[in-house]
Structure 1
Amino acid sequence: MPRPAAPATLPQGESLTLGGVTYRYGRSRTATTPAGLGPLDLRVEAGEFLCVVGPSGSGKSTLLSLLAGFLRPQVGEIRLGDRPVTGPDPRLTLVQQEAALFPWRTVAGNVAFGLERLGLPRAERGARVAETLRLVGLEGYGPRRVHELSGGQRQRVSLARALALQPRLLLLDEPFSALDDRTRTVLADELLGIWWARKITVVFVTHNLEEALALGQRVVALRGGEVALDAPARELNVARLRETLEG
């Protein structure tokens, strides 16, 4: 998979900064449950594609929950651009492993859901839905129902729903892990094309080391809730990542 160069024009995304971010779970957590994250200092530049890897319990899920505003740091601060993230934020969206679409809505209705909640006029919603479906390769699929779609198509709808909100930061939680290898490769290529077109800041979490190296401009490896490695993807290989994660 060819690696794109850094965006040549001014990024539409915003920078992401974590300063001393710490989140620890209470005593009720079991020994097999992640203890938490941090302290963590991290910066993602505007328009950058960052991949985060790590074994189970390394803090990946906690990091995503903090970035998405579902959790609040117990210590430290998260800033998107020049403003703090203090809860779910319209400037960012999250695409999860499972598409989690509404089966009673059409494809267009699913993509329009967030726009309806924002109160956008019907004509503007329709135009944005059509534009986003074209972007993810689903032009003409608007009237279809969820049960008519393949797994890859459902993930495209999930991505379109996130992109329709025109976020400054796109968070992706292993979005291709449930797909077959061929579909996964196709969608990964399409995601790079979308990133290139929109210049969104992307944080992509994955267990797959090859995927992280193929997609990311930069890779951060988490171990025990802390950054074990932070380097440009071009300087890394699977063996080095695996050695870092295994400690």
Structure 2
Amino acid sequence: MTATMTRPAQAASASPQGVSLTLDGVTYRYGRGRPGLGPVTLHVQPGEFLCVVGPSGSGKSTLLSLLAGFLRPQAGEIRLGDTPVTGPDPRLTLVQQEPALFPWRTVTGNVAFGLERRRFPRAERDARVQETLRLVGLEGYGPRRVHQLSGGQRQRVSLARALAVQPRLLLLDEPFSALDDRTRTVLADELLGIWWERKVTVVFVTHNLEEALALGQRVVALRGGEVALDAPARELSVGRLREMLEG
């Protein structure tokens, strides 16, 4: 990344709106030598911004699939607050690396999709869409089609769609990795601002160590499906993280 991201004041200064996340001895194995995850024990505080790093095959994608409820742990338990995760949960949303937008819908239609599925009244739906577009810097872009947007704008729409349902846990799977450095830095700054305003709990997966240290309050490094390091970002350096992952 070519620019330095500006971190807002510590989230502890305001009441968090996120939900706690707990993994207790969570294990998932694919078989046939394919790497999996676990056992992993981890606790994320409400409103915390956690970054997860690790090389390919370290378990990052498996972790996100388990948190999102797409996979079920073969051992252990995942809890949002006090409730076990047994499948997709309306309190969380996932933003992936490639923005899976509907090309036949406008920006407004894409952002409204989750609200429509949850049968929100039209007036509330419209208000939420407009507020969320403002939040991600796309005010006035509602009538545009996906093909009229840049890569960064498409990822903003994807983020807006996730935020419109007001999740308490936001999962992000390398959402900026396909973008150029300048756009990536701008969106990372905006994500920090959104996190500060909404106080949502964030789990951000990335292979970019600099990005993890710039964004996260805390960084977890996975290696071989297990937690190799779990520490506050301010106590870490890129060199130390690389050493842990390669060691």
Query: Aligned-pair RMSD on alpha carbons?
Result: 0.7
- How many matched pairs? 242
TM-score of the pair, normalised by structure 2: 0.97
Distance in structure 2 (CA, Å) of the matches to 1:99 and 1:3: 25
Distance in structure 2 (CA, Å) of the matches to 1:189 and 1:128: 22
TM-superposed CA distance for 1:9, in Å, is 1.6
Distance in structure 1 (CA, Å) of the matches to 2:22 and 2:63: 12
TM-superposed CA distance for 1:84, in Å, is 1.1
TM-superposed CA distance for 1:164, in Å, is 0.2
Give CA deviations for 1:86-108 in whole Å, capped at 9, x if unaligned: 10110000000000100000000
The aligned residue for residue 22 of structure 1 is: 27
Identity of aligned residues (%): 87
State the one-letter code of the partner of 1:16.
Answer: L
State the one-letter code of the partner of 1:243.
Answer: E
The aligned residue for residue 9 of structure 1 is: 14
State the one-letter code of the partner of 2:95.
Answer: V
TM-superposed CA distance for 1:143, in Å, is 0.5
TM-superposed CA distance for 1:26, in Å, is 2.1
Gaps of 5+ in 2: none
Distance in structure 1 (CA, Å) of the matches to 2:227 and 2:23: 12
Are positions 1:118 and 2:123 aligned together? no
State the one-letter code of the partner of 2:221.
Answer: A
Distance in structure 1 (CA, Å) of the matches to 2:202 and 2:119: 26
The aligned residue for residue 211 of structure 1 is: 211
Q: Secondary structure at the match of 1:183?
A: helix
Are positions 1:155 and 2:155 aligned together? yes
Q: Secondary structure at the match of 1:245?
A: helix
TM-superposed CA distance for 1:10, in Å, is 1.2
Are positions 1:42 and 2:47 aligned together? no
TM-superposed CA distance for 1:3, in Å, is 2.6
Gaps of 5+ in 1: none
The aligned residue for residue 87 of structure 2 is: 87
